[in-house]
Amino acid sequence: RRVSGYMDFLLGPRSELQPIWRDYGFAPQTKEEEHNSYVVVLDKEGRQRVGFPIDHLTPEDLAHDIRVLLAQPS
């Protein structure tokens, strides 16, 4: 779960993906319901610190939160 660089999506068996969905608050897509879309910001330790629903994301808010996280000591 220690993501570095750019990630589009994850593929894998349900058994491996379920802990990730749970930890990051995602819901898988089903035949009845489309998956949720979030932009997730991780800290230097790889922990989720911010999650933006895609329809509430603004460049200004994202830039602010990234600056705050980058300023924190390692």
Kindly report the number of other CB atoms within 10 A of residue 61's CB atom.
Answer: 13
User: Which pLDDT score is estimated for 60?
Assistant: 93
Provide the whole-model pTM. Answer: 0.54
What number is the average pLDDT over the span 27-50? 78
**pLDDT at residue 74 above 80?**
no
Per the DSSP assignment, residues forming a β-bridge with 41 are 50
Report pLDDT digits (tens) over 7-31: 567 788 989 988 888 877 777 777 7
Residue 1's pLDDT is what? 47
**Contact at 8 Å (CB) between 43 and 71?**
no
Averaged pLDDT, 38-55: 82
Largest CA-CA distance found in the chain, in angstroms, rounded:
44
